[in-house]
């Protein structure tokens, strides 16, 4: 596991992981709010609850190593908020696919990064992040829409490929903000290759060409 050598610092790691779950929560709550039917809203709302729960559980862990979790998260919030705006997409389907794909990459990344944290807190954080996302409903919602409109599939395939760059920038920034300013790029690359491979499988799962 290449990322185990990255040994992130605990406080920035937990602050980033927690705030990203908050950001996922906000994105899911937004698509649930804008859902075209109550049925779609109902199917998405558990994913909002799960992300919020993961956020709160990661904040509990963060609270064990700092007196002021909010202050720790405040430092990285503007960059994550900006990223969330960039990957929001221009309509409901772009927003929906973006959540599935970007949260997928970021969850994978923070689970991999957790392996480099000494003690059991890394394992604990990974378990929190890996727990059921309830986002499996998203491919179902998208499949119906893509079947009804083939042009939508082409557009979302382009969109899904575009999301990777911005998301890997967030991941790279998380590594650097975790104190690994001098991290060898050769250690990061295999990790990114793994993240992209998993992303391609999610694209396949959405019926999109990666």
Scanning 23-31, 120-128, 138-146, 159-167 for contacts with a copy of itself by CB under 8 A, the matching segment is 23-31
Asked if 53 contacts 109 with a C-beta cutoff of 8 angstroms, the reply is: no
Give the one residue of 22, 24, 112, 174 binding a copy of itself; rule: CB under 8 A: 22
Distance from C-alpha of 20 to C-alpha of 159, rounded to nearest angstrom: 21
Structure tokens at 3: 């990322």
Distance from C-alpha of 191 to C-alpha of 72, rounded to nearest angstrom: 26
Scanning 36-44, 111-119, 156-164, 184-192 for contacts with a copy of itself by CB under 8 A, the matching segment is 36-44
36 near a copy of itself (CB under 8 A) = no
Asked if 26 contacts 86 with a C-beta cutoff of 8 angstroms, the reply is: no
60 near a copy of itself (CB under 8 A) = no
Q: Residue 58 Cβ, how far from a copy of itself at the closest point, in Å?
A: 12
Distance from C-alpha of 110 to C-alpha of 122, rounded to nearest angstrom: 10
154 near a copy of itself (CB under 8 A) = no
Give the one residue of 39, 82, 127, 201 binding a copy of itself; rule: CB under 8 A: 39
Distance from C-alpha of 66 to C-alpha of 135, rounded to nearest angstrom: 31
38 near a copy of itself (CB under 8 A) = yes
The mark string for 191-210 relative to a copy of itself (x by CB under 8 A, - otherwise) is --------------------
CA angle 61-8-183, nearest 5°? 165
Distance from C-alpha of 109 to C-alpha of 195, rounded to nearest angstrom: 7
Give the one residue of 25, 93, 109, 159 binding a copy of itself; rule: CB under 8 A: 25
Closest CA to 97 of 159, 171, 48: 159
134 near a copy of itself (CB under 8 A) = no
20 near a copy of itself (CB under 8 A) = no
- Using CB under 8 A as the binding criterion, the count of chain residues that bind a copy of itself stands at 28
Number of alpha carbons in the 13 Å side-chain half-sphere of residue 88: 17
Which positions lie near a copy of itself, rule CB under 8 A? 19, 22, 25-26, 29-30, 32-33, 37-39, 41-42, 45-46, 48-49, 52-53, 55-56, 59, 69-71, 73-74, 77
């Amino acid at each position: 596991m290449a990322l185990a050598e990255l040994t992130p610092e605990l406080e920035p790691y937990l602050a980033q992981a927690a705030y990203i779950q908050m950001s996922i929560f906000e994105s899911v709550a937004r698509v649930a709010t804008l859902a075209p039917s109550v049925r779609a809203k109902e199917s998405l709302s558990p994913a909002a609850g799960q992300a919020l729960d993961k956020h709160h559980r990661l904040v509990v862990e963060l609270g064990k190593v700092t007196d002021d979790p909010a202050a720790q998260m405040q430092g990285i919030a503007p960059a994550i908020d900006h990223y969330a705006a960039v990957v929001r997409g221009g309509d409901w389907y772009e927003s929906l696919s973006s959540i599935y794909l970007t949260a997928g990459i970021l969850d994978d990344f923070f689970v991999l990064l957790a392996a480099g944290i000494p003690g059991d807190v890394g394992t604990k954080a990974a378990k929190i992040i890996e727990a059921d996302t309830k986002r499996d409903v998203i491919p179902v919602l998208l499949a119906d829409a893509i079947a009804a409109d083939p042009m939508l599939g082409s557009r979302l395939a382009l969109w899904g490929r575009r999301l990777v760059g911005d998301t890997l920038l967030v991941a790279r920034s998380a590594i650097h903000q975790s104190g690994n300013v001098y991290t060898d790029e050769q250690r990061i690359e295999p990790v990114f290759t793994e993240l992209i491979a998993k992303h391609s499988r999610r694209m396949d799962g959405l019926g999109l060409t990666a």
